Structure 1
Amino acid sequence: MVLVLKRTYFPEGTQGVLEWNGTIVCYTIELPWLGNQKRISCIPEGDYVLQKRFSPKFHWHLHLMNVPGRDLILIHPANDAKTELLGCIATVTLHTGIGKGSSSRKALEKLKAVVYKVMTYNEEVKIRIQTNPLKPLRMTR
Protein backbone atom coordinates (compact mmCIF):
# COMPACT_ATOMS: atom_id res chain seq x y z
CA MET A 1 0.00 0.00 0.00
CA VAL A 2 1.31 3.44 -0.91
CA LEU A 3 -0.28 6.63 0.38
CA VAL A 4 0.57 9.77 -1.61
CA LEU A 5 1.02 13.10 0.13
CA LYS A 6 0.90 15.97 -2.37
CA ARG A 7 2.39 19.11 -0.83
CA THR A 8 2.04 22.79 -1.59
CA TYR A 9 4.78 24.94 -0.02
CA PHE A 10 4.36 28.41 1.45
CA PRO A 11 6.80 30.51 3.51
CA GLU A 12 4.52 30.17 6.57
CA GLY A 13 3.83 26.42 6.31
CA THR A 14 3.12 23.44 4.11
CA GLN A 15 -0.32 22.22 3.06
CA GLY A 16 -1.01 18.73 1.82
CA VAL A 17 -3.56 16.35 0.40
CA LEU A 18 -3.17 12.72 1.47
CA GLU A 19 -4.56 10.21 -1.01
CA TRP A 20 -4.87 6.46 -1.35
CA ASN A 21 -5.76 4.96 -4.73
CA GLY A 22 -6.64 8.43 -6.02
CA THR A 23 -9.14 9.11 -3.22
CA ILE A 24 -8.57 11.84 -0.64
CA VAL A 25 -8.22 10.38 2.85
CA CYS A 26 -7.53 13.70 4.61
CA TYR A 27 -5.54 16.91 4.41
CA THR A 28 -2.26 17.68 6.16
CA ILE A 29 -0.36 20.58 7.66
CA GLU A 30 3.37 20.86 8.27
CA LEU A 31 6.08 23.37 8.99
CA PRO A 32 7.59 25.21 5.99
CA TRP A 33 10.49 23.74 4.03
CA LEU A 34 13.67 25.06 5.65
CA GLY A 35 16.28 22.65 4.30
CA ASN A 36 15.32 19.72 6.58
CA GLN A 37 16.50 21.55 9.69
CA LYS A 38 15.52 19.63 12.82
CA ARG A 39 12.43 20.86 14.68
CA ILE A 40 11.71 23.81 12.32
CA SER A 41 11.35 22.26 8.84
CA CYS A 42 9.14 19.70 7.18
CA ILE A 43 10.99 16.59 6.01
CA PRO A 44 12.33 15.96 2.48
CA GLU A 45 10.14 14.55 -0.25
CA GLY A 46 10.54 10.82 -0.78
CA ASP A 47 9.15 7.40 0.14
CA TYR A 48 8.98 6.33 3.78
CA VAL A 49 7.74 3.17 5.48
CA LEU A 50 5.02 3.76 8.08
CA GLN A 51 4.74 1.89 11.37
CA LYS A 52 2.17 1.94 14.16
CA ARG A 53 3.35 3.75 17.27
CA PHE A 54 1.88 4.40 20.71
CA SER A 55 2.81 7.18 23.11
CA PRO A 56 1.03 8.53 26.19
CA LYS A 57 0.78 11.95 24.51
CA PHE A 58 -0.65 10.96 21.09
CA HIS A 59 -1.92 7.42 21.83
CA TRP A 60 -1.93 5.35 18.60
CA HIS A 61 -0.46 7.21 15.62
CA LEU A 62 2.07 6.62 12.81
CA HIS A 63 5.86 6.79 12.63
CA LEU A 64 7.82 7.50 9.41
CA MET A 65 10.90 5.30 9.31
CA ASN A 66 14.40 6.23 8.07
CA VAL A 67 13.91 9.93 7.42
CA PRO A 68 17.33 11.31 6.39
CA GLY A 69 18.92 13.36 9.18
CA ARG A 70 15.82 13.11 11.38
CA ASP A 71 14.24 10.81 13.93
CA LEU A 72 10.81 10.39 15.48
CA ILE A 73 8.95 11.93 12.57
CA LEU A 74 5.32 11.15 13.28
CA ILE A 75 1.86 11.59 11.85
CA HIS A 76 -0.15 12.85 14.80
CA PRO A 77 -2.98 15.26 15.59
CA ALA A 78 -2.36 19.02 15.55
CA ASN A 79 -4.30 21.99 14.22
CA ASP A 80 -1.49 24.58 14.07
CA ALA A 81 1.87 23.60 12.58
CA LYS A 82 3.84 26.52 14.07
CA THR A 83 2.76 25.86 17.66
CA GLU A 84 2.19 22.08 17.71
CA LEU A 85 4.68 20.47 15.29
CA LEU A 86 8.43 19.89 15.45
CA GLY A 87 8.87 18.52 11.93
CA CYS A 88 6.03 15.98 12.05
CA ILE A 89 2.96 15.75 9.83
CA ALA A 90 -0.52 16.50 11.18
CA THR A 91 -3.73 15.27 9.63
CA VAL A 92 -6.64 17.70 9.38
CA THR A 93 -10.18 17.50 8.06
CA LEU A 94 -10.10 21.00 6.60
CA HIS A 95 -7.41 23.61 5.88
CA THR A 96 -8.26 26.85 7.67
CA GLY A 97 -5.10 28.79 6.82
CA ILE A 98 -1.47 28.22 5.90
CA GLY A 99 -0.18 25.56 8.29
CA LYS A 100 -3.53 25.44 10.06
CA GLY A 101 -6.50 23.12 10.02
CA SER A 102 -9.40 21.74 11.99
CA SER A 103 -10.64 18.41 13.36
CA SER A 104 -7.19 16.85 13.39
CA ARG A 105 -8.07 13.89 15.62
CA LYS A 106 -11.04 13.02 13.42
CA ALA A 107 -8.78 13.05 10.34
CA LEU A 108 -6.19 10.85 12.06
CA GLU A 109 -8.86 8.30 12.99
CA LYS A 110 -9.94 8.16 9.35
CA LEU A 111 -6.34 7.62 8.21
CA LYS A 112 -5.68 4.96 10.85
CA ALA A 113 -8.84 3.07 9.85
CA VAL A 114 -7.40 2.68 6.34
CA VAL A 115 -3.76 2.05 7.26
CA TYR A 116 -4.12 -0.17 10.34
CA LYS A 117 -6.46 -2.50 8.46
CA VAL A 118 -3.73 -3.12 5.87
CA MET A 119 -1.06 -3.47 8.56
CA THR A 120 -3.14 -6.23 10.19
CA TYR A 121 -2.26 -8.42 7.23
CA ASN A 122 1.46 -7.61 7.59
CA GLU A 123 1.43 -5.64 4.35
CA GLU A 124 4.01 -2.85 4.20
CA VAL A 125 2.56 0.64 4.13
CA LYS A 126 4.54 3.50 2.62
CA ILE A 127 3.95 7.19 2.25
CA ARG A 128 5.22 8.95 -0.87
CA ILE A 129 5.73 12.67 -0.29
CA GLN A 130 5.86 14.84 -3.40
CA THR A 131 5.12 18.32 -4.68
CA ASN A 132 1.51 18.88 -5.64
CA PRO A 133 1.55 19.26 -9.44
CA LEU A 134 -1.66 21.32 -9.33
CA LYS A 135 -2.02 24.98 -8.48
CA PRO A 136 -1.85 25.93 -4.76
CA LEU A 137 -4.74 24.80 -2.59
CA ARG A 138 -7.51 27.29 -1.87
CA MET A 139 -7.88 28.15 1.76
CA THR A 140 -11.32 27.63 3.21
CA ARG A 141 -12.83 28.85 6.41
Structure 2
Amino acid sequence: MELELQRKYLPEGTNGSVLHDQKWLCHTIELPWVANKAHVSCIPEGRYLIKERRSQRFGRHLILCKVPQRNLILFHAANNARKELRGCIAPVVQLTGPGTGLRSRQALKRLEHVVFSALDKGEAVYLTIKQSVSS
Protein backbone atom coordinates (compact mmCIF):
# COMPACT_ATOMS: atom_id res chain seq x y z
CA MET A 1 0.00 0.00 0.00
CA GLU A 2 1.22 3.47 -0.82
CA LEU A 3 0.21 6.60 1.07
CA GLU A 4 1.27 10.11 0.13
CA LEU A 5 1.71 13.05 2.50
CA GLN A 6 1.58 16.36 0.66
CA ARG A 7 3.02 19.11 2.86
CA LYS A 8 2.80 22.86 3.04
CA TYR A 9 5.70 24.40 4.97
CA LEU A 10 4.93 27.43 7.11
CA PRO A 11 7.15 29.27 9.64
CA GLU A 12 5.03 28.21 12.63
CA GLY A 13 4.24 24.64 11.56
CA THR A 14 3.83 22.19 8.70
CA ASN A 15 0.38 21.26 7.42
CA GLY A 16 -0.35 18.35 5.15
CA SER A 17 -2.84 15.96 3.65
CA VAL A 18 -2.54 12.17 3.48
CA LEU A 19 -3.81 10.58 0.30
CA HIS A 20 -4.58 6.90 -0.32
CA ASP A 21 -5.25 5.92 -3.93
CA GLN A 22 -5.28 9.68 -4.64
CA LYS A 23 -8.21 10.17 -2.26
CA TRP A 24 -8.02 12.33 0.87
CA LEU A 25 -7.68 10.33 4.07
CA CYS A 26 -6.82 13.01 6.66
CA HIS A 27 -4.88 16.21 7.23
CA THR A 28 -1.69 16.29 9.27
CA ILE A 29 0.14 18.73 11.48
CA GLU A 30 3.86 18.73 12.20
CA LEU A 31 6.58 20.98 13.51
CA PRO A 32 8.09 23.48 11.05
CA TRP A 33 11.12 22.46 8.96
CA VAL A 34 14.27 23.23 10.96
CA ALA A 35 16.92 21.28 8.98
CA ASN A 36 15.80 17.92 10.44
CA LYS A 37 16.88 18.98 13.93
CA ALA A 38 15.65 16.40 16.45
CA HIS A 39 12.64 17.36 18.59
CA VAL A 40 12.06 20.73 16.86
CA SER A 41 11.71 19.87 13.16
CA CYS A 42 9.47 17.79 10.96
CA ILE A 43 11.25 14.92 9.23
CA PRO A 44 12.77 15.10 5.74
CA GLU A 45 10.80 14.39 2.61
CA GLY A 46 11.20 10.84 1.33
CA ARG A 47 9.63 7.39 1.24
CA TYR A 48 9.30 5.55 4.55
CA LEU A 49 8.10 2.12 5.54
CA ILE A 50 5.30 2.24 8.14
CA LYS A 51 5.30 -0.55 10.70
CA GLU A 52 3.25 -1.53 13.70
CA ARG A 53 4.74 -0.83 17.11
CA ARG A 54 3.42 -1.53 20.59
CA SER A 55 4.16 0.38 23.77
CA GLN A 56 2.59 0.79 27.16
CA ARG A 57 1.88 4.48 26.49
CA PHE A 58 0.34 4.23 23.00
CA GLY A 59 -0.69 0.57 22.74
CA ARG A 60 -0.75 -0.58 19.11
CA HIS A 61 0.41 2.31 16.94
CA LEU A 62 2.32 3.25 13.78
CA ILE A 63 6.00 4.13 13.43
CA LEU A 64 8.03 5.35 10.46
CA CYS A 65 11.18 3.34 9.81
CA LYS A 66 14.69 4.48 8.87
CA VAL A 67 14.13 8.22 9.14
CA PRO A 68 17.56 9.82 8.62
CA GLN A 69 19.18 10.95 11.89
CA ARG A 70 15.90 10.40 13.77
CA ASN A 71 14.10 7.67 15.68
CA LEU A 72 10.70 7.00 17.22
CA ILE A 73 8.80 9.03 14.62
CA LEU A 74 5.21 8.03 15.35
CA PHE A 75 1.72 8.87 14.19
CA HIS A 76 -0.18 9.99 17.28
CA ALA A 77 -2.97 12.33 18.30
CA ALA A 78 -2.18 16.03 18.82
CA ASN A 79 -3.95 19.26 17.97
CA ASN A 80 -1.01 21.67 18.35
CA ALA A 81 2.36 20.67 16.88
CA ARG A 82 4.49 23.12 18.88
CA LYS A 83 2.93 22.10 22.20
CA GLU A 84 2.42 18.36 21.65
CA LEU A 85 4.89 17.04 19.05
CA ARG A 86 8.63 16.41 19.09
CA GLY A 87 9.04 15.37 15.48
CA CYS A 88 6.09 12.99 15.11
CA ILE A 89 3.12 13.37 12.76
CA ALA A 90 -0.39 14.05 14.05
CA PRO A 91 -3.40 13.30 11.84
CA VAL A 92 -6.27 15.80 12.17
CA VAL A 93 -9.70 16.10 10.57
CA GLN A 94 -9.54 19.87 10.16
CA LEU A 95 -6.64 22.33 9.91
CA THR A 96 -7.07 25.51 11.96
CA GLY A 97 -3.71 27.21 11.43
CA PRO A 98 -0.02 26.48 10.89
CA GLY A 99 0.67 23.28 12.80
CA THR A 100 -2.75 23.23 14.46
CA GLY A 101 -5.91 21.25 13.87
CA LEU A 102 -9.03 19.65 15.32
CA ARG A 103 -10.31 16.12 16.03
CA SER A 104 -6.94 14.41 15.96
CA ARG A 105 -8.11 11.21 17.67
CA GLN A 106 -10.83 10.77 15.06
CA ALA A 107 -8.34 11.24 12.21
CA LEU A 108 -5.81 8.92 13.85
CA LYS A 109 -8.42 6.14 14.13
CA ARG A 110 -9.26 6.55 10.44
CA LEU A 111 -5.60 6.39 9.39
CA GLU A 112 -4.88 3.44 11.68
CA HIS A 113 -7.90 1.53 10.35
CA VAL A 114 -6.61 1.81 6.77
CA VAL A 115 -2.98 1.02 7.62
CA PHE A 116 -3.62 -1.77 10.14
CA SER A 117 -6.02 -3.43 7.67
CA ALA A 118 -3.18 -3.61 5.13
CA LEU A 119 -0.56 -4.67 7.69
CA ASP A 120 -2.86 -7.39 9.06
CA LYS A 121 -3.03 -8.83 5.51
CA GLY A 122 0.76 -8.91 5.33
CA GLU A 123 1.04 -5.94 2.98
CA ALA A 124 3.94 -3.51 3.21
CA VAL A 125 2.80 0.08 3.75
CA TYR A 126 4.85 3.06 2.60
CA LEU A 127 4.44 6.79 3.13
CA THR A 128 5.94 9.18 0.59
CA ILE A 129 6.34 12.71 1.96
CA LYS A 130 6.67 15.58 -0.49
CA GLN A 131 5.91 19.25 -0.84
CA SER A 132 2.42 20.04 -2.03
CA VAL A 133 2.28 21.34 -5.59
CA SER A 134 -0.06 24.10 -4.38
CA SER A 135 2.47 25.42 -1.82
Alpha-carbon separation, structure 2, partners of 1:114 and 1:132: 22
Decide whether the 8 Å contact of 1:58 with 1:77 is kept in 2: no
Partner of 1:138: none
* TM-score when normalising by structure 2: 0.97
Partner of 1:38: 38
Alpha-carbon separation, structure 1, partners of 2:108 and 2:78: 10
Deviation at 1:53, TM superposition (A): 1.6
Aligned length: 135
Partner of 1:26: 26
Alpha-carbon separation, structure 1, partners of 2:97 and 2:123: 35
Query: Unaligned regions of 5+ residues in structure 2, if any?
Result: none
Alpha-carbon separation, structure 1, partners of 2:61 and 2:19: 17
Partner of 1:98: 98
Partner of 2:113: 113
Secondary structure at the residue paired with 2:52?
strand
Alpha-carbon separation, structure 1, partners of 2:112 and 2:58: 13
Decide whether the 8 Å contact of 1:5 with 1:17 is kept in 2: yes
Alpha-carbon separation, structure 2, partners of 1:86 and 1:4: 21
Query: Unaligned regions of 5+ residues in structure 1, if any?
Result: 136-141
Alpha-carbon separation, structure 1, partners of 2:118 and 2:130: 22
Secondary structure at the residue paired with 1:26?
strand
Alpha-carbon separation, structure 2, partners of 1:69 and 1:30: 17
* TM-score when normalising by structure 1: 0.93
Partner of 2:4: 4
Deviation at 1:60, TM superposition (A): 2.4
Partner of 1:51: 51
1:82 corresponds to 2:82? yes
Deviations 1:65-121 (A, max 9, x none): 000000000111100000100000000010011100011010010011111111111
Deviation at 1:57, TM superposition (A): 2.5
Q: Percent identity?
A: 46
Query: Partner amino acid for 1:130?
Result: K
Secondary structure at the residue paired with 1:77?
coil
Partner of 1:126: 126
Alpha-carbon separation, structure 1, partners of 2:95 and 2:59: 23
Deviation at 1:54, TM superposition (A): 2.2
Query: Partner amino acid for 1:100?
Result: T
C-alpha RMSD of the superposition: 0.8
Query: Partner amino acid for 2:24?
Result: I
